[in-house]
A and B are shown apart, each in its own frame.
Chain A
Amino acid sequence: MHIIEVENLVRKYGDLTAVDNISFSVEEGEIFGFLGPNGAGKTTTISVLCTLLRPTSGRAWVNGHDVVREQAAVRRSIGLVFQDPSLDDRLTAQENLEFHAVLYDIPADVRAKRTEEVLRMVELYDRRNNLVRTFSGGMKRRLELARGLMHYPKVLFLDEPTLGLDPQTRSHIWEYILELREREGITIFLTTHYMEEAEHADRIAIIDYGRIVALDTPENLKSMVGGDIITVKTRDDEAAARQIAARYGVKVRRTADGLSFKVAKGEEFIPKLVVESETEILSVGLRRPTLDDVFLKLTGREIREEEAGPLDRMRERMRRRARRH
């Protein structure tokens, strides 16, 4: 039995189709990622799997339970860390966890122990009696992670878990997540638009405009790109582009920084390029394919942090309110 199964899932908001007939399954103990730009349908999919939204059509099962017909059973099996903090600022860390414990019917005698356990795991035990309002973004995210695990869920859903966090906090959070998978055999379902984050996954589904355009391990996906990526800056980009395309038979792309194209064995290619080039070469860069390149190849666009979407506006509003108080 797959721990998550999705069959022809469709979710519309009026005329807008956010999730357009997707199907996939996740194995127990896997780290499974959804990678795609903002608005691709990642949060919507997670919301359906967490029983926050109903599918327009199609079906989904989590831990063997239908997300529409067996909601309580699904909810008991899952933990969720949202994109935006969903803690109560005016309660302490401990109180937030206790609230959660009662809602999830964790027996009274176990509650205190479990609370301490998760707080220690995310290194917030010393701050347990502080109001969450005093916590930094990273601390809040850690607390949410702790909260999501309190009831020992089989699947942990992480919706953009490290969005807006600094690199150090990001790597700490991933340490916990990976340790968890080791220890508890938890399945992790993750959505992100950060490529580096997606690299942690065992398998990734690349999602764009509500459709899955690829599903495989990060390695396999990257080898789809077909080679290393060379970037070149020259005195005369237009001429150089024509020459390179003609001489080596590669498709050359013009970018903001110069030219870009793909070859196998980039390190061996560069010396040849420099020697044989008719145009003066100012600089050369070489890199391995990333998931962004995969996305580019599949969709013709790059995954980039996009301009203010509804999420960012909400954040702006939160910041304004926080200042007012």
Chain B
Amino acid sequence: MHTLRAIYIIGYREILRYWRDKPRIISSFARPLLFLFVFGSGLSPAMGGLARGLGSEGLEAALGEAIDYTKFIFPGVIGMNMLIASLMSGISIVWDREFGFLKEVLVAPISRAAVALGKTLGGSTIGVIQGLLILALAPSVGVSVTPMMVVQLIPLMLLASFATTSLGVLIAARMRTVESFGMIMNLLTMPMIFISGAMFPLRDLPSWMDFLVKINPVTYAIDPLRQVIFRAQGLPEAALEKLPQMGLGVIVFGHTMTIADDIIVIVAFGVTMIALAMWMFSIQD
């Protein structure tokens, strides 16, 4: 019980600190907004409907045009915001270490593993909040939002955020300075987003890129979000089924990933990361 309360308060502190740093929240919007509105509006006319190839006649053709670039990258932008936030949780650990607060936590009678867990849960919650903030922009890009969609999205976002946060905590577990962590963040964040099927359809990719997409956990984090969002756009089932072949879904070894499949991958990844993080945290100097 004590451990649970401790985990809770550690997570709660993360959220409190996040919420009190309004400038950071606002500036974290800069890149996603850039992608959505500048990139999206700029590229949409050039790219046309991304589901072209569904068919050239009637309903199918119209639907093919319905998914313009901006709508296409919307799930990816949610993912981007979440990913950045969750990796930032790692920074809070390194920051605490550099500025001493971590000692207060380490000298308390709770296990190191509990500390890692608390940080991860706090960071995951922050990731969901960040994702929801982007979701609020949906109307402005022509993406319709239904209550059902939101209800489905929240647990999926929580799961995805948990996986990426635990990765951040793992990286932070033994890192000494904020600068080094920042460097790793830069190296990882954008590539992980770009090579995830969120920024362009996974069609006719060179084999090395195809490989990277398939081993990138973010791919499986964003795919369920995309599926839920597209489903709520009022497209008929038949059309939705064809989307993965158009590159708007993930196909691994010929098997189209369903939301359930994605969840399994994400959970497996997340659990591995958090287990490693808890272990790394427990290593004592």
Contacts and interface: CB of A to CB of B under 8 A. Distances in A.
B107 A52 contact: yes
Contacts of A71: 109
B255 interface: no
B107 A80 contact: yes
Interface residues of A, number: 30
Given A99-B13, A102-B9, A53 B107 contact: no
Given A86-B100, A86-B103, A99-B9, A75 B17 contact: no
A88 B17 contact: yes
A295 B281 CA distance: 40
B101 A87 contact: yes
Interface in B67-121: 99-101, 103-110
Contacts of B109: 71-73, 75-76, 103-105
Contacts of A88: 13, 17, 101
B108 A90 contact: no
Prevailing SS type, chain B contact patch: helix
B138 interface: no
Contacts of B106: 52
B57 interface: no
A209 B2 CA distance: 41
A51 interface: yes
Contact of A52 (B2, B6, B17, B103): B103
A91 B5 contact: no
Contact of B17 (A50, A85, A90): A90
A50 B99 CA distance: 18
B103 to A, nearest CB: 5
A153 B257 CA distance: 56
Given A90-B21, A103-B6, A75 B107 contact: yes
Given A54-B284, A82-B100, A84-B100, A91 B13 contact: yes
B16 A91 contact: yes
B285 A54 contact: yes
Nearest to B2: A105
Interface in A283-316: none
B99 A318 contact: yes
A170 interface: no
B16 to A, nearest CB: 7
A102 B5 contact: yes
Nearest to A54: B284
Interface in A71-125: 71-73, 75-76, 78, 80, 82, 84-88, 90-91, 95, 98-100, 102-105
Contact of A91 (B2, B17, B285): B17
15 contacts: A50-B107, A52-B106, A52-B107, A82-B103, A85-B100, A87-B101, A98-B9, A102-B6, A102-B8, A103-B109, A105-B2, A105-B5, A105-B6, A147-B104, A318-B99
Interface of B: 2, 5-6, 8-9, 13, 16-17, 20-21, 99-101, 103-110, 284-285
Interface of A: 50-54, 71-73, 75-76, 78, 80, 82, 84-88, 90-91, 95, 98-100, 102-105, 147, 318
Across chains A and B, which 9 residue pairs bring their CB atoms closest together, nearest first? Answer: A103-B108, A86-B100, A75-B109, A102-B9, A105-B2, A72-B109, A86-B104, A84-B100, A76-B109
